[in-house]
Structures are given as structure tokens and as C-alpha cells.
Chain A
């Protein structure tokens, strides 16, 4: 690109202060027409804040935004769209109960007076979808579509508004590797048609695959630019976290023992009668990690909730060490030696308004030494808290701080500390490292392997394929509520697992 091209977007010295955090610290960058500009950074690096400022959802404290060389005031999303800036959010802004066309035209409807011009609208959507190679069924209900297609609807929604800049916030988080490749093709096509794209991610592999330019953010600051053709993953990772990171988890081969968890023929339907669990059967042995891979929302949550007693089951059986625990109350299951790291840390894992010390005894408070008769033994609870905070390296001003005021990584450490100190036979870890910093991720991964080596059976559920591949000894893949394949780790390549995640059964396996 030549130097005299006017940038589609120029950001100068954007600064945004939140209570206690400087989320954006004098960030400047330019975005040229026809390029894909990737923003790489850990969770909490300030990427989403920056994009929300661009899209008019936050007001910056300082700095200015220039669009096509002119100073722009963006007060709300409508302004941003008016200036040609569209955004595909991490959580789609789609109304599940409306059709594809209705979602796309919402807010800028084609109309005849007050009446919707449904025919022309759906024709318009069809044209757009052909023009950009984004296949969508215009009259289907959005909630019935797979996430990959929903994402295309989101992109079309922006294109329908004639944007020439598009921000994609972590667009691959919920896609299979194949769907992600398809998205990259679409992104390239859009760039070739002159659109400028901002691609936000924390996945190193992806930026190198698709970006023209990389800007790395750390703790709210731009820490460097990189050329995807020359920068290695290791270099990018070091730039992103500010030190060298081990991308692999050190572990020895598993030494599986007896079956600890035996799940047979679980079936479940949701309120609408759609299948959520489809004849799920798995075994988890002592001393091994069974990783469950799969795109979010394919029944993993319900499977884990069924095992931990949070979800009632109409049929099927679950045995722990030969004892039936199907539809038993959660406390009874916990007491039989099940440690549980829930996927919803804030809702299920902790009581955010309680202190750390109280959260640390949530599953044992009713037993000695924490109770004496009808009252708590405060001394024992305090000692327990002091000890666990130290052992598990929870960074907090005091044990009486509320759990809600801690960072995600420290919250997760509290859960791990609480769960791992009981006598356990089975560990269920659901999305154990979602949204936490790299340091905590390493710590928790090592703790999980330590539990495995101590002879626990570990069931790991994660939407991050890399995490499953790094920790698991066997990989089971879930698709539409079904276990579509179980592979030993040696055979679980990214490609094979990816195909299974998309529901494509391998011919060779049949």
C-alpha cells in the first residue's frame, strides 16, 4: 500500500479508565481500505474496550477517531453504522425468534408506509448473500440455525447497512476449525472488495493465517506491531503476555486404572423437544483425563450437569465407582468424591457477594471442623482460608474480600482450592480456563494434571480445542448431543477432531 492512501479509520491516543483499571492507554493505529488488521491480546488486554469505543458503546476519556480523514463523533452504535463502521459481536446481537431477513433489516426496514416490504427485503438479502458468498436461508428462523450460519447473518447485517469497515470480535470462539476456515475465506473476499476489517482474537494460529497486519495489545497498551509473514507464534506469544510462555503442558503418559465414572445411554430433550443428549455413554478411568471437545452448545453443559446432579435425567444411568448416582442430589454426589469446576464461574462456582473465606467452605461448611453444633467454628474457617490462599496463590488483599471483586483467574483459583482439598475420586472440569490470564491458565492446567497423577479420573470439557489436545489422554467429541467419536490422544489430530466437531464421521472409522 502506498503512503498517500487515506486510512479508512485512524485512532489517535484513545484512553479509557475504568475504576481500578486503565483499560486503554493512549492507543493509536490506522486501518487501510482492503486490509485485515488483527488485534492480538490476552483476555483483559483492552481489545473489547477499544472496539466498544469505536462502536459508540463507551465514551473514551481522551483521544480522537478519524474516519476517512475526518474527525468523527461516535456516540452510539447508530452513529457508527452511519459512518460506515459495522461490528460482529462476540455474543451475536441476533434475535433468535425472528427470521434471517427480519434480523438483517431490523432498524433499517424496507417499508411501504408502516408495513414491512417482506418480499423485497428477502430478495435484497438473497442478493447480498450471493454477492459476498455468504450463504444464508433468508426465511429461516435464526435460532434454528447453526452458529456458523448465524455469524454470517451478523456479517450480512453489517453489509446490508453499507459499512466499509467491519470489526469482528473473537469471531472464531464458537466455530469449528472448518467453519473458521470458511470465515477466513469470506474475510479475504470482503477485503478484496475494498472493505477494511478489524479482526480481534487471542489465537495465534489464526492471525498468522488471515491477517495483513498485526497489532499486539497488553494491559491496555499497544506493545508492538508484527508482520504475519515473518513473526513466529512464539514471538507473538511472548509479545502478547510479556514473557516466554510454555504452550505445551508437561505431562507423562497416563496410567489408567479402574473405571471410576460410568455413564450409560443418557437421553435428554429441552423445553422445545429438541434433543440435547443423544444416547451418551462414556467411561472415565482413574488416572486419565478424558477430554470432551466440541463446539459450545452441543450438550456438554447438560452432560456435566447431569453427572453432578444439577440436571434431572429422564433416562440413562450414571455410576460412580459402581454405585448408581443417577438423579441423586448434588450434595450426595459431591460427598461421594466428585470435584467440580463449573463452566459458569460467577453463577454456579462462587457466591460473588460472599467473602473468599466463606466461598472456600461452600461444600464443607456443614461438617466439622467448620461447624460446632449449631454454630460455625470461625477459627477453623479462617485457618482453612489462610492455608488455601497461600497454597493456591490466590492474589487478594485479605480473606474477607468478596469473591466478586477478584479477577477471573483468582476466582478460578478459589474454586480449584475448594474443590481439590476434599477427598476426591473424580474431577469434572468444565471450561476451567475460560477468560482468565495466561499465568492462571498454566497454574490450573498443572493442577489438573497433578490430580490425574494422584489417581483421580478427570473429565475435562472445553470449547478450546487446544486445551483439550494439551491435557487429555483420550478425546471424545460431542456433536448435537451425541458422542461422535472417542480417539486416543495420539490419533487426535486437529483435523480429525475438527471434522468430528462438525459432525462429519470419518469413512475410515466406520
Chain B
């Protein structure tokens, strides 16, 4: 019997299911002694609530739209049983195609679900809040992935997205803080203090975009003009970003008093935000999150329906062919890399102006690299990359969520989750994804 990818994935799935089953069994068993009501591990139930967000505005104790009560152990056993069964089929039949990706995706999706049920055994979880968090945390990853797509589709590898985001986060925040001081002086006027101070925040976002564009221009200059290896050039950007932002923070930002106290506000979209489940997931966010959704749809349109998109795809795949029909390959690459950097700048703004308000050293925390994984997961398509971003952010969201439940899996394990999932996805689900053929190659006539 040969060891193949399908068999390996089957084995991995079975392993994960068994470990999960044992862990849940142990953990729930330990809980029995603490409580009196529950006699056996089979008595645990996990409740999934979908709250009624509209009514909750009036009465915080308004009953939920739905509350589904699932027997914890039975549900998890069924899920794990099914995963083990299908894993067994994979090992026995060794199918050549079409099984690996769906199976691995189900292992991840149902695995997450099981962990959630396990964490909320004898308790309840708010589903809309969990899923809304997935979209929120997926925002910078998705925007970063779009930045990567714009660069790589034109044939320039950009591993400097992390650095571009970090620098943009730093200078975007600085732009907002400084402009607020310049406009309002030491303290906000009475009228502005209550509402949202839009002008400096918008200046901040524009500053972040500009910063991203400048960092990207450096990357383009190094890798196109001087033909520096694109991975090296991207690494230079990443290392430089840590230095520049660290210096700026200790020497300027920490000493600088800004009257601005809050970042971008929550913007529920009227009645749409009140739709149960869907409302909180899609229509109750801060501005950059909405912008992300527009950007995903927009880039998909631009890439596949416009002249710019056609030419971008052509120069990333076969620059010589584009050159012979009169397209200036290197000029387009400059343009695309800089646009990519500006998009990464928007992601940077998310960190310092939307996700939180303020700048911390290394606050992008590797999300730029996860963006690249999401881009590969999506096979260099905006919609697919968006899907990949949600997968990675759901690992993150789950991790944050279960910590609130006095969960007995060590928190370090849970914090590893997004990265472990990235590894599994890149190795198992995607297999060998095919990047644009000319990606990473200098174009010389």
C-alpha cells in the first residue's frame, strides 16, 4: 500500500477526530465531579443562541430568535465518527482527485464547531456574535490578500505586505493624531467631542494608504529597476518596517498628546442590521469592514472584466506575449505593485484606526503573512481569497471566543490554532497551487 496524499489526509483527519474525541471525553468527565446536576458526560448540552438584536436594543433581556440545544457529547461523537469513517474510506480507496480538499475543509469546519460545542458545554454561545467576529477579524487578512493578488497577478511576489501594513498602521495613526491636533488644538471642541471626529480619521486612512504606496514603490523600485530578488526585497521591507515604526513610536508617538480619543465608529446599516443572524454578520460593522467587502467585489470585477485586469493577468503569466502586443510590462508592474501597497495601507489603517485605536509595536502580528496564505488558498482570486481569510479569521475568532468560557484546553494551544490551520490548509487542502507563471521573475527583453 503506497502512501499517497489522499491517504495522508485521511490519516490526519482520523488522528484529529480521535484526539478531539478523547480530549472532549476527558474534559467533560472532569467537569462531572464539579457539578451535581449532571450524572454522566452524555448529559451535557451546548446551546447555540441567535439573539434578536432589534429587540435587545430596547430590552437587553429580550428572548433570542432561536436557541438550539445540542447534546454535546452525542453531537461531537457523531461528527468525529463521520470524519473517521470518511477518513477510512480515503485510506482504503485512495481516490486520486476530488476528495482531499472537501474532506480537509470538513475536518477543519466540523473540528471548529466541535471545539465550540465543547467550550460551551452546559452553557450557551451567541452565534451571531461569533460569526460577526469572524468577518471583523477577517477584514485585514482579506484586504492584505487583495494587495497580494494585485501584485502577484502582475508577476511581482510581495511578501512585504506585513511590513507595508505595519508601516501604514503606524503612519496612518500618526496622520490622524497629528491632524486632529492641528485642527482642534489640545482638546476637542464640545460639539466634536460627543460625535465622531471624521476629518482626522479620514486623513489617517489616506495617510495609511499613502504610506503603503510609498513602501510598495520601494519594493517595486528594488525588484524591477534593480532586479533584486523579490523575496529578498520583500524581506527588506518587512525588516525595515519594524525599525521605522519602532523608532517613530518611541521617539514621537509616545510623546505626542493628541486630542483624538476614539477610532472609526460602529456603523450599523439601519434596519438591515436588525435582521437576526445576517444583520450582525454583514450589516453591523465599522467602515473599513464594509470597504473590504466592496473591495473584494470590486477587484473581482476589475481583474476579470476590465482592460487593466486583462493586461495584469497577461503580464503575470506571459510578459513577453504582452510586450509583443505593445504593453509596457515594467510600467504596469510598477503601477500594480504601488496599487497593491496602497491596498495594504488600508489593511494597516484597520489595525490602528478601526480594530483598535493607537499604534503598538508589531501590532500586525503576522496577519500580512496569513494574508498571503489566504491568497494562495483562494488561488489568486479575490473571492477565493476572501473565503480563505474567513477560514483563518474563524480560527482566530474561535480562539478568542473559547477563552471566555474557562476552557480547559491551554490558551497557548488555542492561540496556535490559526497558524496550525494555515499549515494544514497550505499542505493538505491546496496541494500544489499554481501561481501566475511569471510571478517572481524579472522581465527582461
Chain A residues close to B by CB (< 8 Å): 55, 57, 76-78, 81, 87, 89, 92-98, 102-103, 105-109, 111, 114-116, 118, 157, 269, 271-273, 314
Given A273-B97, A314-B2, residue A106 in contact with residue B325 (CB < 8 A):
yes
Q: Is the CB of A108 within 8 A of B325?
A: yes
Tell me, rounded to whole Å, the shortest Cβ–Cβ distance linking A188 to chain B: 26
Where chain A touches its partner, the secondary structure class is loop
Instruction: Let me know if A116 and B307 touch, CB within 8 A.
Output: yes
User: For residue A271, which residues in chain B have a CB less than 8 angstroms away from its CB?
Assistant: 432, 434
Q: Which residues of A contact B310 (CB under 8 A)?
A: 98, 102, 105-106, 109, 116
Among A57, A115, A273, the most chain B Cβ lie within 10 Å of the Cβ of A115
Q: How far is the CB of A20 from the nearest CB of chain B, in Å?
A: 21
Does B113 make an interface contact (CB < 8 A)?
Answer: no
Q: A89-B324, A102-B310, A118-B305 are in contact. List 7 more A-B contacts (CB 8 A).
A: A93-B318, A97-B436, A98-B314, A106-B310, A107-B326, A116-B309, A269-B96
B327 at the interface (CB under 8 A from A): yes
A95-B313, A98-B313 known; A111 vs B318 contact (CB < 8 Å): no
Residue among B4, B96, B306, B445 with the highest chain A CB neighbour number at 10 A: B306
Does the CB pair A81–B326 fall under 8 Å? yes
Q: What's the least CB distance linking B152 to chain A, in Å?
A: 13
Question: Which residue of the partner chain, among A89, A95, A116, A272, contacts B314 with CB atoms under 8 Å?
Answer: A95
Bound-state Cα–Cα, A105 to B2, Å: 48
A106 touching B317 in the complex, CB below 8 Å, given contacts A114-B306, A269-B96, A273-B96: no
With the chains together, A81 CA to B310 CA distance in Å?
A: 20
- Identify which of B308, B321, B434 contacts A106 (C-beta below 8 A): B321
B315-343 interface bits toward A, Cβ cutoff 8 Å, 1 = contact, 0 = none: 00110111111110000000000000000
Given contacts A77-B326, A78-B325, A81-B326, contact A114 B317 (CB under 8 A): no
Contacts of B325 in A (CB 8 A): 77-78, 81, 93, 106-108, 157
**A93 and B327 contact, CB distance less than 8 A:** no
Which residues in A have their C-beta under 8 angstroms from that of B434? 271-272
User: Are B321 and A94 in contact, with the CB atoms below 8 A?
Assistant: yes
**Given A106-B311, A109-B307, are A96 and B318 neighbors across the interface (CB < 8 Å)?**
yes
A114 B308 Cβ-Cβ under 8 A: yes
Contact A115 B318, beta carbon cutoff 8 Å: no
Q: Does B437 contact A (CB under 8 A)?
A: yes
Using A96-B437, A106-B327 as known contacts, say yes or no to A111 and B320 having CB atoms under 8 A apart.
Answer: no
Q: Report Cα–Cα, A97/B321, bound state, in Å.
A: 12
Beta-carbon nearest neighbor of A315 in chain B:
B2
CA distance A196 to B314 in the complex (A): 29
How far does the alpha carbon of A335 sit from the alpha carbon of B323 in the complex, in Å? 47
A107–B310 Cα distance when bound, in Å, is 9
Q: Is the CB of B306 within 8 A of A116?
A: yes
A157→B318 CA distance, assembly (Å): 15
Contacts of A269 in B (CB 8 A): 96
Name the A residues within 8 Å of B327 (CB-CB): 106-107
Of the candidates B317, B323, B324, B445, the one having the most CB atoms from chain A within 10 angstroms of its own CB is: B324
Name the one of B96, B313, B318 contacting A94, with C-beta atoms under 8 angstroms: B318
Question: Most chain-A CB neighbours within 10 Å: which of B311, B325, B327?
Answer: B325
Checking A92, A95, A115, A273 against B306 with a beta-carbon cut-off of 8 angstroms, the contacting residue is A115
Chain A residue numbers with a CB within 8 Å of B437 are 96-97
Chain B residues in 8 Å Cβ range of A108: 325-326
Bound together, the chains give a CA A109 to CA B96 distance in angstroms of 41
In the complex, chain A residues whose CB is within 8 Å of the CB of B321: 92-95, 103, 106
Give the residues from 12 to 53 in chain B that come closer than 8 angstroms, CB to CB, to chain A. none
- A95 to B153: give the CA distance in the assembly, Å: 13
8 pairs, A vs B, C-beta closer than 8 Å: A76-B326, A81-B326, A93-B318, A105-B310, A106-B321, A115-B306, A116-B309, A157-B325
Q: Which residues of B contact A273 (CB under 8 A)?
A: 96-97
CA distance A239 to B144 in the complex (A): 62
Residue from A87, A92, A108, A116 with most neighbouring chain B CB atoms (10 Å): A116
CA–CA, A478 to B211, complex, Å?
57
Bound-complex Cα distance A87 to B320 (A): 13
Measured CA separation A150–B445 after assembly (Å): 23
Closest chain A residue to B302, Cβ basis: A114
The 9 closest A-B pairs by CB, nearest first: A107-B325, A78-B326, A93-B321, A77-B324, A95-B318, A95-B317, A109-B307, A93-B324, A114-B306
Chain B proximity of A168: nearest CB distance (Å):
15
Chain A residue at minimal CB-CB distance from B431? A271
With a cutoff of 8 Å between Cβ atoms, the chain B residues found around residue A81 in the complex are: 325-326
B306 to chain A, nearest CB (A): 5
Chain A: CB-nearest residue to B304? A116
Shortest beta-carbon distance, B298 to chain A, in Å?
Answer: 12
Question: Which B residues are in CB contact (< 8 Å) with A118?
Answer: 305
Q: How far is the CA of A456 from the CA of B306 in the complex (A)?
A: 59
Q: Which B residues are CB-close (under 8 A) to A55? A: 324
Tell me the B254-289 residues at the A interface (CB within 8 Å): none
| B377 CB to nearest A CB, Å | 17
Write out the residue numbers on chain B whose beta carbons fall within 8 Å of the beta carbon of A103: 321
Interface contact A97-B306, CB-CB below 8 Å: no
A76: nearest chain-B partner, CB-CB: B326
> A115 to B303, alpha carbons, bound, how many Å?
10
In the complex, which residues of chain A have a beta carbon less than 8 angstroms from the beta carbon of B445?
57
Look across to chain B and name the residue whose beta carbon is closest to the beta carbon of A115.
B306
Q: Which residues of A contact B318 (CB under 8 A)?
A: 93-96
Please give me the residue from chain B that is nearest to A118 by CB atom: B305
**A243 vs chain B, min Cβ distance (A):** 37
Question: A314 to B3, alpha carbons, bound, how many Å?
Answer: 10
Instruction: Select from chain A the residue with minimum beta-carbon distance to B432.
Output: A271
Checking A98, A105, A116 against B317 with a beta-carbon cut-off of 8 angstroms, the contacting residue is A98
Which residue of A77, A93, A157 has the most chain B CB atoms within 10 A of its CB atom? Answer: A93
Most buried by A among B2, B323, B436: B323
- B contact residues around A92 at 8 Å (CB): 321
Taken together as a complex, chains A and B put the C-alpha atoms of A95 and B322 apart, in Å, by 8
Interface string of B73-109 (1 = CB under 8 A from A): 0000000000000000000000011000000000000
Contacts of B96 in A (CB 8 A): 269, 273
**What distance in Å separates the Cβ of A373 from its nearest Cβ neighbour in chain B?**
39
CB < 8 Å: which of A57, A105, A106, A116 contacts B322? A106
CB distance from B432 to the nearest CB of A (A): 5
If the complex has contacts A76-B326, A107-B327, are A97 and B307 also in contact, measured as CB distance less than 8 A?
no
Write out the residue numbers on chain A whose beta carbons fall within 8 Å of the beta carbon of B313: 95, 97-98
